[in-house]
Amino acid sequence: MQSICPSWKVRLLTLPIIIAVAAWFFVKPVRVILPEAAGVSCLSASVCVDDAARFREANELYAEGLAFVTPLLESIHGRPRVIFCASRACADSFGLGARSAVTLATFGTVIGPGAWKPYYVRHELIHYLQAERLGTLGLLFKPEWFVEGMAYGLSQDPRAPLAEPFESHRRRFLAWHAALVKQTVWQAAEGL
Ligand SMILES: [Zn+2]
Protein backbone atom coordinates (compact mmCIF):
# COMPACT_ATOMS: atom_id res chain seq x y z
CA MET A 1 0.00 0.00 0.00
CA GLN A 2 1.37 3.42 -0.89
CA SER A 3 1.73 5.84 1.99
CA ILE A 4 0.84 9.48 1.66
CA CYS A 5 4.02 11.49 1.06
CA PRO A 6 5.14 13.56 4.11
CA SER A 7 4.36 16.94 2.55
CA TRP A 8 0.73 15.85 2.04
CA LYS A 9 0.57 14.63 5.61
CA VAL A 10 1.78 18.03 6.82
CA ARG A 11 -0.78 19.76 4.61
CA LEU A 12 -3.59 17.53 5.86
CA LEU A 13 -2.61 18.15 9.47
CA THR A 14 -2.33 21.91 9.04
CA LEU A 15 -5.61 22.20 7.12
CA PRO A 16 -7.82 22.38 10.24
CA ILE A 17 -5.53 25.08 11.67
CA ILE A 18 -5.74 27.09 8.45
CA ILE A 19 -9.53 26.74 8.42
CA ALA A 20 -9.75 27.82 12.09
CA VAL A 21 -7.53 30.88 11.49
CA ALA A 22 -9.46 31.83 8.34
CA ALA A 23 -12.78 31.49 10.20
CA TRP A 24 -11.44 33.71 13.00
CA PHE A 25 -10.71 36.51 10.53
CA PHE A 26 -13.46 36.07 7.96
CA VAL A 27 -16.38 34.47 9.85
CA LYS A 28 -16.19 36.78 12.81
CA PRO A 29 -19.15 35.37 14.83
CA VAL A 30 -16.94 32.31 15.55
CA ARG A 31 -15.03 34.59 17.92
CA VAL A 32 -17.78 33.93 20.50
CA ILE A 33 -15.91 30.68 21.15
CA LEU A 34 -12.88 32.56 22.52
CA PRO A 35 -14.23 36.01 23.47
CA GLU A 36 -11.22 37.01 25.59
CA ALA A 37 -9.00 36.65 22.55
CA ALA A 38 -11.37 39.04 20.74
CA GLY A 39 -10.76 41.69 23.40
CA VAL A 40 -13.72 41.44 25.80
CA SER A 41 -13.56 40.61 29.50
CA CYS A 42 -15.53 37.68 30.84
CA LEU A 43 -16.19 38.83 34.39
CA SER A 44 -18.21 35.72 35.17
CA ALA A 45 -18.45 32.27 33.57
CA SER A 46 -21.42 33.43 31.51
CA VAL A 47 -21.26 37.19 31.03
CA CYS A 48 -18.61 39.06 29.04
CA VAL A 49 -18.44 42.81 28.44
CA ASP A 50 -16.28 45.25 26.52
CA ASP A 51 -17.05 47.95 29.11
CA ALA A 52 -16.45 46.70 32.66
CA ALA A 53 -18.48 49.62 34.05
CA ARG A 54 -21.61 48.07 32.53
CA PHE A 55 -21.03 44.54 33.83
CA ARG A 56 -23.73 44.84 36.51
CA GLU A 57 -26.31 45.94 33.94
CA ALA A 58 -25.29 43.06 31.66
CA ASN A 59 -25.47 40.58 34.51
CA GLU A 60 -28.99 41.74 35.44
CA LEU A 61 -30.18 41.41 31.84
CA TYR A 62 -28.70 37.91 31.69
CA ALA A 63 -30.33 36.83 34.98
CA GLU A 64 -33.68 38.29 33.93
CA GLY A 65 -33.50 36.51 30.58
CA LEU A 66 -32.73 33.13 32.13
CA ALA A 67 -35.45 33.52 34.78
CA PHE A 68 -37.96 34.48 32.08
CA VAL A 69 -37.15 31.82 29.51
CA THR A 70 -36.56 28.81 31.76
CA PRO A 71 -40.12 28.22 33.05
CA LEU A 72 -41.54 28.75 29.56
CA LEU A 73 -39.32 26.23 27.83
CA GLU A 74 -38.06 23.87 30.55
CA SER A 75 -34.66 24.25 32.09
CA ILE A 76 -31.46 25.06 30.26
CA HIS A 77 -28.92 22.28 30.71
CA GLY A 78 -25.79 24.22 29.78
CA ARG A 79 -24.67 27.66 30.84
CA PRO A 80 -25.16 30.01 27.88
CA ARG A 81 -22.40 32.57 27.46
CA VAL A 82 -23.46 36.06 26.44
CA ILE A 83 -21.11 38.82 25.26
CA PHE A 84 -22.56 42.28 25.79
CA CYS A 85 -21.00 44.83 23.44
CA ALA A 86 -21.47 48.43 24.54
CA SER A 87 -19.53 49.77 21.55
CA ARG A 88 -19.97 49.43 17.81
CA ALA A 89 -16.29 48.44 17.52
CA CYS A 90 -16.92 45.43 19.78
CA ALA A 91 -20.02 44.42 17.77
CA ASP A 92 -18.05 44.80 14.54
CA SER A 93 -15.22 42.62 15.89
CA PHE A 94 -17.82 39.82 16.19
CA GLY A 95 -19.18 40.56 12.71
CA LEU A 96 -22.62 41.62 13.90
CA GLY A 97 -23.16 43.82 10.82
CA ALA A 98 -26.76 44.98 10.53
CA ARG A 99 -27.96 42.47 13.12
CA SER A 100 -28.84 43.63 16.63
CA ALA A 101 -27.64 40.40 18.21
CA VAL A 102 -26.57 36.92 17.14
CA THR A 103 -26.44 33.45 18.72
CA LEU A 104 -23.99 30.88 17.40
CA ALA A 105 -25.63 27.56 18.35
CA THR A 106 -24.66 26.79 21.96
CA PHE A 107 -21.25 28.44 21.64
CA GLY A 108 -22.37 31.91 22.62
CA THR A 109 -24.39 35.04 21.97
CA VAL A 110 -23.34 38.58 21.09
CA ILE A 111 -25.63 41.43 22.12
CA GLY A 112 -24.95 44.63 20.14
CA PRO A 113 -25.01 48.16 21.59
CA GLY A 114 -28.67 48.75 20.66
CA ALA A 115 -29.90 45.42 22.04
CA TRP A 116 -29.36 45.83 25.79
CA LYS A 117 -33.05 45.21 26.42
CA PRO A 118 -34.77 42.28 28.18
CA TYR A 119 -36.65 41.08 25.10
CA TYR A 120 -33.51 40.98 22.94
CA VAL A 121 -31.63 38.92 25.55
CA ARG A 122 -34.62 36.56 25.98
CA HIS A 123 -34.85 36.21 22.18
CA GLU A 124 -31.23 35.09 21.95
CA LEU A 125 -31.51 32.75 24.95
CA ILE A 126 -34.46 31.10 23.18
CA HIS A 127 -32.19 30.52 20.15
CA TYR A 128 -29.63 28.98 22.52
CA LEU A 129 -32.29 26.64 23.91
CA GLN A 130 -33.44 25.70 20.42
CA ALA A 131 -29.88 24.62 19.57
CA GLU A 132 -29.55 22.77 22.88
CA ARG A 133 -32.85 20.89 22.53
CA LEU A 134 -32.97 20.28 18.79
CA GLY A 135 -29.25 20.12 18.05
CA THR A 136 -27.36 22.56 15.84
CA LEU A 137 -27.95 20.44 12.76
CA GLY A 138 -31.57 19.65 13.62
CA LEU A 139 -32.28 23.35 14.02
CA LEU A 140 -31.04 24.06 10.49
CA PHE A 141 -33.88 21.90 9.14
CA LYS A 142 -36.67 23.50 11.18
CA PRO A 143 -38.90 26.03 9.42
CA GLU A 144 -38.08 29.70 9.91
CA TRP A 145 -41.59 30.47 11.19
CA PHE A 146 -40.90 28.09 14.08
CA VAL A 147 -37.32 29.27 14.85
CA GLU A 148 -37.90 33.02 14.59
CA GLY A 149 -41.60 32.95 15.50
CA MET A 150 -40.76 31.27 18.81
CA ALA A 151 -37.97 33.74 19.59
CA TYR A 152 -40.13 36.79 18.79
CA GLY A 153 -43.34 35.35 20.26
CA LEU A 154 -42.10 33.94 23.56
CA SER A 155 -39.66 36.77 24.33
CA GLN A 156 -42.64 39.14 24.52
CA ASP A 157 -41.05 41.50 22.02
CA PRO A 158 -43.21 44.63 22.34
CA ARG A 159 -42.75 45.77 18.74
CA ALA A 160 -45.96 45.49 16.78
CA PRO A 161 -46.11 44.92 13.98
CA LEU A 162 -42.63 43.51 13.39
CA ALA A 163 -41.07 43.92 9.96
CA GLU A 164 -42.11 41.10 7.64
CA PRO A 165 -41.60 38.18 7.48
CA PHE A 166 -41.16 38.19 11.26
CA GLU A 167 -44.67 39.41 12.11
CA SER A 168 -46.15 36.50 10.10
CA HIS A 169 -43.68 34.07 11.69
CA ARG A 170 -44.66 35.26 15.16
CA ARG A 171 -48.40 34.94 14.45
CA ARG A 172 -48.00 31.49 12.99
CA PHE A 173 -45.88 30.25 15.90
CA LEU A 174 -48.21 31.65 18.56
CA ALA A 175 -51.25 30.00 16.90
CA TRP A 176 -49.36 26.68 16.65
CA HIS A 177 -48.17 26.98 20.27
CA ALA A 178 -51.66 27.79 21.59
CA ALA A 179 -53.04 24.67 19.90
CA LEU A 180 -50.63 22.31 21.69
CA VAL A 181 -52.55 20.19 24.18
CA LYS A 182 -50.47 17.39 25.69
CA GLN A 183 -47.16 17.79 23.90
CA THR A 184 -44.39 20.11 24.99
CA VAL A 185 -43.10 22.57 22.42
CA TRP A 186 -40.00 20.37 21.94
CA GLN A 187 -42.00 17.18 21.43
CA ALA A 188 -44.23 18.91 18.90
CA ALA A 189 -41.20 20.44 17.16
CA GLU A 190 -39.92 16.97 16.28
CA GLY A 191 -42.71 16.65 13.74
CA LEU A 192 -41.92 19.90 11.94
ZN1 LIG B 1 -33.79 35.48 16.00
Q: Are the beta carbons of 50 and 39 closer than 8 angstroms?
A: yes
Domain spans, the chain? 29-189
Report the C-alpha gap between 43 and 52 in whole angstroms.
8
Q: Are the beta carbons of 151 and 127 closer than 8 angstroms?
A: yes
* Average model confidence (pLDDT) across the chain: 88
Report the C-alpha gap between 49 and 36 in whole angstroms.
10
Tell me the CA–centroid distance for residue 184 and ligand 1, in Å.
Answer: 21
Tell me the CA–centroid distance for residue 117 and ligand 1, in Å.
Answer: 14
Higher pLDDT, 93 or 170: 170
Any residues with CB less than 8 A from the CB of 101 and at least 6 apart, and which? 109, 110, 111, 112, 115, 120, 121, 123, 124
Three-state DSSP class for 71?
helix
Q: How confident is the model at residue 23 (pLDDT cuts 50, 70, 90)?
A: low
Q: Given a cut of 90, is residue 156 above it in pLDDT?
A: yes
- Provide the CB-side half-sphere exposure for 23 (13 A, CA): 12
Tell me the CA–centroid distance for residue 190 and ligand 1, in Å.
Answer: 20
Q: How far is CA 140 from CA 131, 133, 150, in A?
A: 9, 13, 15
Amino acid letter, 145: W
What mean pLDDT comes out for the span 71-98?
Answer: 89
Tell me the CA–centroid distance for residue 46 and ligand 1, in Å.
Answer: 20
- The CA R_g of the chain, rounded to the nearest whole Å, is 19
- Note the pLDDT tens digit of each residue in 27-66: 677 677 777 777 899 999 999 999 999 999 999 999 999 9
Q: Given a cut of 80, is residue 82 above it in pLDDT?
A: yes
Higher pLDDT, 1 or 66: 66
